[in-house]
Amino acid sequence: MRMTSLVLSILLIISCEWGALSFHKSRYLRILRQKHHFQGTEQWFVQRLDHFNAADQRVWKQRFYINDTFYQPGGPVFLMIGGEGTANPAWMDHGSWINFAEKLGAMCLLIEHRFYGKSQPTTDLSTSNLQYLRSDQALADLAHFRAVVDVKMNLTHNKWVAFGGSYPGSLAAWFRLKYPHLVYAAVASSAPVQTVINFSEYLEVVNYSLESYSTSCPLLVKDASDTLVELLPNTNTYSQITLDFQLCEPLEIKSKMDSAYLLETLAGNFMDVVQYNKDNRVFEDPKGTNITVEVVCTIMENSSLGIPYKRYAKVSQLLLDTYEEKCLDASYSKFLSDMLNTSWSAPAADGSRQWAYQSCTEFGYYQSTESLRQPFSGFPLSYKLQQCIDLFGPLFNPVVLADAVQHTNENYGGHNIKGNRIMFPNGSNDPWHILGVTKGHKAIYIQGTAHCADMYPEQQSDVPQLREAREEIFQRLKSWVKQ
């Protein structure tokens, strides 16, 4: 299926893609998000602010969407779980789950995650209000939604199946784990169910993926990144670097945070390309979809563009041009002032501030340059940890985070998650597969594919193993819901 209509070409970012990207700032997808606002037929549902305190009677409205076109009475109910961004109604008529729904006569529901998009439980995103932004509260939202909506819509005796990709993939698995009486099965695509603070393996997979193009590609990236790191201590180089990378503000490095932010932003060009390489997301990011590992490695190998450092700048320029951006925002102080704005109308309310909070209080997942088996340097774990303090205050220190991440794994089981009828599809080229479930009967490991690839609409160009994986997911799903 090839998406060509104008409407589709301007759709928002779906949670799967957007979410995972926001793990490292999602510059380009944020730009797309800000430019386009898609309106679907939204519905609203009353939820408690705090499910775990009976004395707190505050409520808010949660947004959801329905597609009942394929529903046959008594058929399954598919619940797509929204993630760390505005719920994208493009899912309501696209994606492999809709094809499964057509074949199985399913009702399709998409529910937006609390604190993202228009599901706004509090008046602003102050740090004290964000205490209600937690995965366990989000799961309780799903449970309450399920318990009330099924009576209202006559879906009580139907089999409910949770779907999600990336963080919502974990939520799908955890929903089945914690509320097995409410949800019959789960398809948890690219779900990083194991939480970890020091996620240094992420960049190792980026290296591996660049290496699958050629041995020299990651080495050239390393050469370029090293050159930049060597230039940074010398203030005389700043105006040249500002020009080379088309920075929005003249480069100024006053602390390790400033240099780390710049280096991370540039590495982010490669992280994005690897994570979403050929993932079929044409319908939401038609511009980015053509920028593949092959494209960036071809630039890195092109010696007529100058030394590797210059080629690195060329890759950055290509992304800026593709997304029609005039300059590259790489200033940590600008980032901080944006992220500290707690208003729902501030740019960081697109999910960036909220997801930063969840990272600092539940998940970590910091893609640091701690490993030596990868090409980048200069944004160590300590930089990511300092960000939590800069954004939310001294209470959000590394000791607190370590306890919180441990609690998350104790609560859900991490890699060793129990429970049956949970599928974990994921791609070998997806850096997140490290934190997922890739072995054992629940795993569907897709050699050579990227983050959430199994969730997108089919395409002519799909690799055979991706087709097979979709078919396997369907067959398993069918055997479960037809029992």
Ligand X SMILES: *[C@@H]1O[C@H](CO)[C@@H](O)[C@H](O)[C@H]1NC(C)=O
Active-site residue numbers? 166, 430, 451
> Cβ(396)–Cβ(389) under 8 Å?
yes
| From candidates 436, 455, 466, 473, binder to ligand X by CB under 6 A | 436
- Least Cβ distance, residue 478 to ligand X (angstroms): 18
* Residues in 52-71 that interact with ligand X by CB under 6 A: 67, 69
Alpha helices in 276-351 (DSSP H): 293-300, 308-322, 332-339
Q: How far is CA 337 from CA 24, 46, 147, 331, 389, in A?
A: 17, 33, 41, 10, 14
| Mask for 7-46, x = binds ligand X (CB under 6 A) | ----------------------------------------
Strand order in the sheet with 422-427: 43-48, 59-67, 107-111, 77-81, 160-165, 185-189, 422-427, 443-446
Helix (H/G/I), strand (E/B), else coil: 79: strand
367 binds ligand X (CB under 6 A): no
Count of beta carbons in the 10 Å neighbourhood of residue 233 = 9
* 127 is an interface residue for ligand X by CB under 6 A: no
Nearest approach, Cβ of residue 57 and ligand X (Å): 30
Identified binder of ligand X from the candidate list 5, 236, 304, 461, rule CB under 6 A: 304
Asked if 80 contacts 346 with a C-beta cutoff of 8 angstroms, the reply is no
Q: Which stretch binds ligand X (CB under 6 A): 139-147, 207-215, 254-262, 465-473?
A: 207-215
Site string for ligand X, 136-155 (x = CB under 6 A): ------------------x-
Q: Is 179 or 445 the residue whose CB approaches ligand X more closely? A: 445
DSSP designation for 359: I
What does the block give as tokens for 398?
């590394």
294 interacts with ligand X by CB under 6 A: no
CB of 70 to ligand X, least distance (A): 7
Q: 402 near 306, Cβ under 8 Å?
A: no
Token pair in block for residue 466: 């991706």
List binders of ligand X among 215-254 (CB under 6 A): 218-219, 222
| In the complex, minimum distance from the CB of residue 251 to ligand X, in angstroms, rounded to a whole number | 23
Among 208, 238, 323, 480, binds ligand X (CB under 6 A): 208
CB of 51 to ligand X, least distance (A): 27
Element (H, E) at 364: strand 364-366
Stretch that binds ligand X, among 18-26, 141-149, 187-195, 256-264 (CB under 6 A): 187-195
Nearest to 329 by CA among 13, 27, 19, 24: 27
Instruction: Kindly state whether residue 345 participates in binding ligand X, applying the rule CB under 6 A.
Output: yes
Q: Does 92 bind ligand X (CB under 6 A)?
A: yes
Strands 196-198 and 364-366: parallel
Chain centroid to CA 134: 16
Distances (CA, A) of 366 to 5, 6, 70, 138: 37, 37, 41, 22
Residue 237 or 371 with smaller CB distance to ligand X: 371
Closer CB to ligand X, residue 189 or residue 358? 189
Residue 60, classed as helix, strand or coil, is strand
CA distance 481 to 477: 6
Binding site for ligand X (CB under 6 A): 67, 69, 73-74, 92-93, 98, 154, 157, 190-192, 198, 200, 207-208, 211, 218-219, 222, 286-287, 290, 298, 302, 304-305, 341, 343, 345-346, 370-371, 373-375, 381, 424, 426, 430, 432-433, 435-439, 443-445
